[in-house]
Amino acid sequence: MISLAYSVQKMLEDQNFVKRLSSCEIMGGANNICSDKTGTLTKNQMTWTNIWTGDASTKIKDPDGKGPMNTEEFCSAKTKQYLSEGVSCNTTGVIPDAGATELAMLKFIDRCNVDYVHMRQRYVPKDLLRFQFDSSRKRMSTVIELGQEEQTEFGYPKRIHTKGASEIILSTCTHYLDQNGEKKDLNDTKR
């Protein structure tokens, strides 16, 4: 109890305000608060504001908007297909109840006129192979099944989509798709 009283007193002196008194015990002893998701602490939401496709970065017009988005402004049809598969199949939530990160992703492709529920039904197999996000891997991966007409360039009927910490994902990449959806070598300069 002394600890809680001291924490409350210290927070008052520092002019810290909290909504729930129970958090004082925890926060009173904190020296630093670090967050890599700007806005989630203040607005409890995330939004895609920029997208990097190929050789260009595009600022999303009206990122908080509700209307449809023209994907032709920033990516090729092939890139849109991969993006749609990745977001749809490598997320687990739905718009009404997803976490902040997944909600931002799902809202983005929803505005791109992608039916993520239909994509999941089409590509996610019944015997799902998914590597959930954890702090050691810093990424999440899901293997999807392609139709016979959609096999990879190497003839595989499956594709893996991964999302996570950019430095981890980038370190595993050897190629990227340019603005036209063409596969290009990813060299150190481009990385």
**Structural domains present in the chain:** 1-34 (no CATH), 50-185 (3.40.1110.10)
Q: Is the pLDDT of residue 123 over 90?
A: yes
Lowest mean pLDDT among 25-39, 42-56, 115-129: 25-39
Q: Active-site residues: which are they?
A: 36
Q: Is the pLDDT of residue 101 over 50?
A: yes
Over the range 2-33, which residues count as b (16 or more CB within 10 Å of their CB) and which as e? eeeeebbeebeeeeeeeeeeeebeeebeeeee
Give the rounded distance of the alpha carbon of 175 from its chain centre. 20
> What CA–CA distance (Å, rounded) separates 124 from 81?
15
Contact assessment for residue 155 and residue 149, using Cβ atoms and an 8 Å cutoff: no
pLDDT score for 25? 55
CA angle, 68 as apex, 62 and 73 as ends, to 5°?
Answer: 70
pLDDT score for 18? 59
What would the mean pLDDT of 7-28 be, rounded to a whole number? 60
Q: What residues pair up with 145 in beta bridges, in sequence order?
A: 158
The pLDDT tens digits of the residues spanning 80-96 come to: 999 999 999 999 989 98
**CB-hemisphere CA count at 13 Å for 79?**
21
DSSP 23-40: HHHHHTT-S----SSTTT
Is residue 109 packed enough to be buried (19+ CB in 10 Å), middle (13-18) or exposed (0-12)?
buried
The pLDDT tens digits of the residues spanning 49-80 come to: 888 888 778 888 888 888 888 888 888 999 99
Residue type, 58: T
pLDDT score for 2? 46
> What CA–CA distance (Å, rounded) separates 158 from 127?
13
Query: Model's pTM, two decimal places?
Result: 0.73
Contacts of 144 (CB under 8 A, 6+ apart): 85, 89, 123, 124, 125, 158, 159, 160, 161
- Name the percent of the chain lying above pLDDT 70: 77
